[in-house]
Amino acid sequence: MSTATTIYDQLRAAIIDGAFASGAPLRQDVIARDYGVSKIPVREALVQLEAEGFVEMFSGRGAFVARLSAAQAEEIYLMRRALEPLLLERAIPLTGATDWLRAGGILAALQAKDLPFHEWHALDYEFHTALYSHADLPTMKKLAANLHSNLARYYRIYETL
């Protein structure tokens, strides 16, 4: 795994978990110092995070955690609502009994107890991907995963209310 990928993974997880507030600055020099690396892999990680909607970059001002808004949450939800039925439509004919049992087990785990956010989010993601794992649409599955991760920031806020 490259240094940029490691930084990307850790920053993404921190943003989703709420370690960085909406709109918080992400200074490349500070992140580079904290990770003991040059600014290049940090910049690469931030560019990827910007492409996925987690970071906003402004020329001359730097990078910031993407701001959250009700309109954006609604848009992400609507996109998932449009995308996931298409994935399911392609996956269902290829899904076997074992797959349905696995999805049912995940759903039972989700409903069984009051889970900490990170466990709930992981199980929720696992449940959704289990349902459409057999869909032969890799780009759509990647988009669905990104939308799920972006919504997690909103779920995190809801959990703290």
This prediction's pTM = 0.83
Phi, psi (deg, nearest 5) at residue 40: -60, -55
**Same domain, residue pair 156 and 103:** yes
Same domain, 137 and 83: yes
Enclosing domain of residue 106: 70-160
> How much is the pLDDT for 159?
67
As for how many domains the chain has, the answer is: 2
Residues 22 and 9 in one domain: yes
| Rounded distance between C-alpha atoms, residue 144 and residue 147, angstroms | 5
Residue 130 · residue 102 · CB < 8 Å? yes
* pLDDT recorded at residue 112: 79
Residues 74 and 36 in one domain: no
Write the single-letter amino acid at 68: L
The pLDDT of residue 160:
67
Please indicate, yes or no, whether residues 83 and 50 belong to a single structural domain of this protein. Answer: no
Q: Are residues 11 and 61 in the same domain?
A: yes
Q: Which residues pair with 58 in a beta bridge?
A: 62
| pLDDT-flagged residues of the chain (< 50) | none
The answer to whether residues 7 and 49 belong to one domain is: yes
pLDDT at residue 114 in the model? 83
Nearest alpha carbon to residue 106 among 123, 118, 121: 123
Assess whether 97 and 156 both reside in one domain: yes
Do 92 and 126 belong together in one domain? yes
Residues 54 and 107 in one domain: no
Domain-ending residue, one of 49, 65, 81: 65
